[in-house]
Chains A and B, each alone.
Chain A
Amino acid sequence: MKLSGAEILWECLVREGVEVVFGIPGGANMPIYDAMLKYPVHHVLVRHEQGAAHMADGYARASGKVGVALATSGPGATNLVTGIAAAMMDSSPVVFITGQVAAHLIGGDAFQETDVTGITLPITKHNYLITRADEIARAVREAFYIARTGRPGPVLIDICKNAQIEKTEFVYPEKIELPGYKPPRTAPKKDLIKAAQMIKESKRPLILAGHGLLISRAYREMQELAHRAHIPVAMTLLGIGSMPASDPLNLGMMGMHGEAYCNLAIQNADLLIALGMRFDDRVTGNLKTYAPHAKKIHVEIDPSEVHKNVVVDLPLVGDLKAVLTDLLPYVEEARHDEWFAQINEWRADTDERDIIYWPDDGKLYTAHVIRSIWEATNGQATITTGVGQHQMWAAQYYRFEEPYRFITSGGAGAMGFGVPAALGVWFTDKSRDVWVIDGDGSFQMTQAELATIVQEGASIKIAIMNNHFLGMVRQWQEFFFESRYSATYLSGPDFVKLGEAYGIPARRITKPEEVMDALRFANQTPGPVLLDFWVEQEEAVYPMVPSGADLHNMIRRPKRQQVASAQATS
């Protein structure tokens, strides 16, 4: 049967199991939108293509399925770019489908023509420029396969308008032929035995749990490894959820704003078992002084990540689930009580400094608000965030017991991620309790998607940690630029009125005693709710490893009595 290119696209998307797509129609993708009406796919009309990209990304991270975003040519496609880069940095499987001007116009600077495959070359895993209808089926089939296998990532298909309109015989390519694309499977047996031996010989081992554990669905195998060999687990920002927060082996988050005892454990370990993480500068600090006593095993599916930042002693290149499954039979039971005693000593000092144990002093601290959200949601919510202080506090104070519940932009650090990502998460399961913990700066970058949330009737609770600052930049200015607050103060707007303008019930909270009541209001109100928490303006995230500093040289939160006496003398 002959079908138009646009119909072939939808035939293929339906076969890939696509149920929802996020996008905006425009001149160069109208045939795609016209054909869409005949297919059982729900379309979410976003207000800006960046929103579509983050939604598809959030959907992919929360479900493991491939997210799909649509945009037209030119500005439609370029508006996706931030979202594509965010998906690339965090290995999120998203297929982007953009319209392009007709093939015969390419190169002539036609209206809304942009070299989208050129622009997205370095921020996609792969991309396609389609000039004929008969190329579409194979490209879509390959794109989904490439996006979700190996180290996942975004794939873009740029489809010329003529290819959308032309009719051709539709043949679904059952078989995928990609001779240049063979993701590694598992590591050689000899290396697995060597790894088990290194674990056995170690006195102070430490697992570094990364995003790969969630992507590969290998977190249970990691937990099994940790428990069998009695190894503490430190998580990267995106590895959060791979180990339940309540597990006694869990040391929490590592890195720039990681727990002090966690970073000290890294610096004192004699063996690091890095699982699906890439030694980003935000987790290593100064590479020259990073984990100086540790041998390093690196399990990683992407060979270009091995020895990239940290030269390791034993790379195990392969899929984490396969490698850990193959490794476990060689791993012996062990105890490392002395090592844990040492870590617990460091932990006691951290607890003493922790703001969460501060008694109510009448001030509204973000950390306390997030802890209250954790309580009000029984620790069961899926949290999306923007980027900045609130993101770090959410990572520190919302205790995640399950994987795929903390959805945040790590590598790219894309502000504005929270609200659209939350809508993507909601579409994976509409019974899910979805909360956005956002900053007032991040929120304003994509706040237009409030309209999308309302149009979709999505039950998403948005909590803005409003300090009237670009808080993280302000913190850096305080610490490293002698408190010269250059361009970090944000005056508004009135988020309660803004919420109401969109038809979203909203409340402002300025005092600690109002918090629980507001959270009850959010829980009891069906549909979206917006809460505007006016938190302490000049709070800082602790501990902090200054950019490029040694991981053990953290700026620590002053202890409570030190703060009190400093206030008394001033």
Chain B
Amino acid sequence: MQHTLIAIVENKPGVLNRVASLFRRRNFNIESLNVGHTDRKDISRMTIVINSEEADARRVEANLYKLVNVLDVHDVTNQPAVIRDLALIKVKAGIDQRAEIANLASIFRGRIVDVAAESVIVEITGTEDKIESLVELLRPFGILEMVRTGQVAMLRGGYEPVRHTPGAGSNGFHPEEELEVD
């Protein structure tokens, strides 16, 4: 099944490489990996989606936790979270097709962000399912190119900066008791 992990990391050279290297070293498959700045200059945030068994997801979490530059790890799978993906889809479209494509896009709360003589670019934000559905509807027109950001995720509600120790508390084996480490 799909697991979505959030890693809060120090914004230093090589950190992305450390995370990516870990996935290769431990033989985990990344579905998508998104990195970006946070409100703090010195901190970046990664959203990592992996396709794996529950036990492997725990291993990923524990291994990420070991990296010195990783400040915190959260598995937001099955948690109340906002998860979004953004796609740009360039669709073959002459004058006759534009209206229909714009129509489809608006049903999915997407929009056309570029119009050329023979094509349009549709921008859509949403969950993976929603994007997949629109892509399937646009496919008959002819998709020329497509790019996706990969998922980004954020837990709903307040933010609790508690550092978890995977294996002791937050790994699901002892969910009722979390070990706080100062």
Q: Which residues of A contact B (CB under 8 A)?
A: 117-118, 121-122, 125-126, 129, 146, 178-182, 184-185, 187-188, 190-191, 300, 302-304, 306-308, 311, 315-318
Is B134 on the interface with A (CB-CB < 8 A)? no
Could you tell me if A188 and B17 are in contact, using CB atoms closer than 8 angstroms? Answer: no
Q: Is the CB of A121 within 8 A of B17?
A: yes
CA distance A308 to B166 in the complex (A): 12
Return A107 CB to nearest CB of chain B, in Å.
12
The stretch of B79-87, B104-112, B167-175 that contacts the partner chain: B167-175
In the complex the two chains form, is A304's CB within 8 Å of B65's CB? yes
Among candidates A121, A122, A317, residue contacting B167 with C-beta atoms closer than 8 Å: A317
* Pair B179/A182 contact, Cβ less than 8 Å: no
Min distance, Cβ B176 to any Cβ of chain A, angstroms: 9
How many angstroms between the C-alpha atoms of A300 and B9 in the bound complex?
25
Cα distance A318–B68 in the bound complex, in angstroms: 17
Query: Contact between A318 and B18 (Cβ–Cβ < 8 Å)?
Result: no
The answer to the question of B130 belonging to the interface, with a C-beta cut-off of 8 Å to chain A, is no
| Residues of chain B with a CB closer than 8 A to A188's CB | 168-169, 174, 177, 179
| Inter-chain pairs besides A303-B168, A317-B179, 6 sampled, C-beta below 8 Å | A121-B21, A129-B14, A180-B72, A188-B169, A306-B171, A307-B171
Pairwise interchain contact A303-B165, C-beta atoms closer than 8 A: yes
Contact call A317/B68, Cβ cutoff below 8 A: no
Please give the distance in Å from B156's CB to the nearest CB on chain A: 25
6 contacts between A and B (CB under 8 A): A303-B166, A304-B63, A307-B167, A315-B167, A315-B168, A317-B167
A125: which B residues are within 8 A, CB to CB?
A: 68
Count of residues in B whose CB is under 8 Å from the partner chain: 35
B interface list, Cβ under 8 A from A: 9-10, 13-14, 17-18, 21-22, 25, 55, 58-59, 62-63, 65-72, 163, 165-169, 171, 173-174, 177, 179, 181-182
CA distance A306 to B173 in the complex (A): 11
- Beyond A182-B163, A184-B181, A191-B174, whether A317 also contacts B168 by CB under 8 A is yes
With contact pairs A121-B18, A308-B59 given, residues A180 and B67 touching in the complex (Cβ less than 8 Å):
yes
A304's closest neighbor in chain B, by CB?
B62
Judge whether B173 and A315 touch: CB under 8 Å.
Answer: yes
Question: Could you tell me the distance between the alpha carbons of A11 and B174 in the complex, rounded to whole angstroms?
Answer: 46
The 6 A-B pairs at the shortest CB distance, nearest first, are namely A303-B167, A304-B62, A306-B167, A317-B168, A303-B62, A180-B71
Alpha-carbon distance between A125 and B163 when the two chains are bound, in angstroms: 20
B68, A117: Cβ atoms closer than 8 Å:
no
Residue of B nearest to A153 (CB): B66
Q: Which residues of A contact B67 (CB under 8 A)?
A: 180
- Give the shortest distance, in Å, between A323 (CB) and chain B (any CB): 11
Q: Which residue of A lies closest to B181 (CB)?
A: A182
Which of B21, B55, B174 makes the CB contact (< 8 A) with A307? B55
Specify which of A122, A185, A302, A315 is in contact with B181 (CB 8 Å cutoff): A185
- Are A182 and B68 in contact, with the CB atoms below 8 A? no
Q: How far is the CB of B20 from chain A (nearest CB, A)?
A: 10
Task: Find chain A residues with CB under 8 A from B163 CB.
Answer: 182
B167 — which chain A residues lie within 8 A by C-beta? 300, 303-304, 306-307, 315, 317
Given the complex, which residues of A lie within 8 Å of B165, measured CB to CB?
A: 184, 303, 317
Q: Which residues of B contact A187 (CB under 8 A)?
A: 168, 179
Q: Which residues of B are found within 8 Å of A303, using beta-carbon distances?
A: 62, 65-66, 165-168, 171
Instruction: Choose among A129, A179, A311, A318 the residue that contacts B168 (Cβ–Cβ < 8 A).
Output: A318
Query: In the assembled complex, how far is the CB of residue B112 from the closest CB belonging to chain A, in whole angstroms?
Result: 42
| CA gap between A307 and B13 in the complex, in Å | 32
**A313, closest chain B residue (CB):** B173
Q: How far is the CB of A244 from chain B (nearest CB, A)?
A: 31
Decide: A179 and B71 in contact? CB cutoff 8 A.
yes
Residue ID in chain A nearest B65 by CB atoms:
A303
Complex interface: chain B residues within 8 A of A118 (CB): 17
